[in-house]
Amino acid sequence: MSAANPLSGVTVVEIGTSVAAPFGSWILGYLGARVIKIESARGDDARQWGRMLPDGRSSFFEALNANKESVVLDLRDDKDKHWLKEFCETKADVVIQNMRPGKVAQLGLDGAELSLTNPKLIYFNLGAFGAVGPKASAPGYDPLMQAAGGIMSVTGEPDRPPVRVGVSIVDMGSGMWAAIGVLAALYQRTSTGRGAIIDGSLYETAVAWVANQSAMVQVDGRNPEKVGSGARGMAPYQAYDCADGYLVVSAPNDNLFERLCKALGFLDLLGDPRFATNQLRYANLTDLNRFLEPVLKTQTRDHWMDVLDKAGVPCAPVRQITEMLADEQTRALGIVQSLEQATPELIGLPLSFDGERPALRTMPPALGEHTELVKGG
């Protein structure tokens, strides 16, 4: 077994659609597990999301479903339902499901039912609002959870309408928690011989993401304010407009602030009592930015990156996705992966084991591509 494929020999069944559950099984698949993706004849909803390739494939689906096998089943059909139940009871190590609340129980495919025959099974329920509570049966999507969980209240610019974080942070975070839960249960199974039924949800992930903000509220009862590209209680720590775009400058401690002032020629600021500590700099950020903003605007991002890099002040340009993909650091890491003559290039797992990144083994499957192979095997 390769160090980069620690889950080789583990079989995962994904009864999922959209982003959250597929991202969870995507992680496990990249770690070496065999992932059987169960789809209806219509396919995963994500097959119709994002930008479409000339051959009809969806960019969203391609991004989330590498290293999987697609099996099309009609779970209203007793024969297909029986096949899936038997497969989970006899061949599966893990099931991840995000069907609408109550549906798997109606089908007899819930964790409690399958574990009667397969006590070693690890079963992850990935719901919307959680397994209990008044909204346990309600459906949900990423923007709903960013709203309900408080994320939107702290995202964006002050006095502007709510905005969603531009990536599916709740969906993908929930998939990550699913993978973490499964990995913990697999480890526990090595000593107990038994699996587990694990519950997670989009709402719980959203709530977990605002842990810092929740702790702040406990201090004084005030809701956190929106701070745009900055961070609450840290300064200077935000994007600044340069001659050709924005540059994020991070100098949130005394040592870095001193380096920044020396690099920009603001030695007099070092003795200014308004900026003596991080908390004072944050309290007087408007005053501080009156010095920083006009100077940074005079030169390009590359100019200031060179100056600040030499001074040891962390900084980074606000890049477009095309710039990030072409960046030499991105390419050096080998995280953008492809197979010979296959498109598009895909982002791989952000982990390496003993210097080896888990490989892209197979491109995302066509709908039902492996139905006969898996059912026949």
Show which residues are catalytic.
171
368 to each of 15, 38, 42, 245, 262, how far by Cα in Å? 14, 9, 10, 46, 62
Distance CA 163, CA 152 (A): 6
The number of beta carbons lying within 10 Å of the beta carbon of residue 357 is 17
DSSP symbols for 14-45 = EE--SSHHHHHHHHHHHTT-EEEEEE-TT--G
- β-pair partners for 234: 231
**Which amino acid is it at 353?**
F
Distance CA 64, CA 107 (A): 26
The number of beta carbons lying within 10 Å of the beta carbon of residue 318 is 15
Work out the burial of residue 319: count CB atoms within 10 Å of its CB; fewer than 13 is exposed, 13-18 middle, 19 or more buried: middle
214 to each of 30, 135, 146, 354, how far by Cα in Å? 34, 21, 15, 37
Are the CB atoms for 140 and 170 separated by under 8 Å? no
Strands (E), the chain: 11-15, 34-39, 68-72, 94-97, 122-127, 196-201, 237-242, 245-250, 315-317, 336-337, 346-347
Distance CA 317, CA 165 (A): 19
What are the backbone dihedrals phi and psi of residue 57, each rounded to the nearest 5 degrees, phi first?
-75, 150
Distance CA 143, CA 168 (A): 8
Q: Which residue has the tokens 């899936």?
A: 84
Distance CA 64, CA 25 (A): 9
Distance CA 311, CA 373 (A): 59
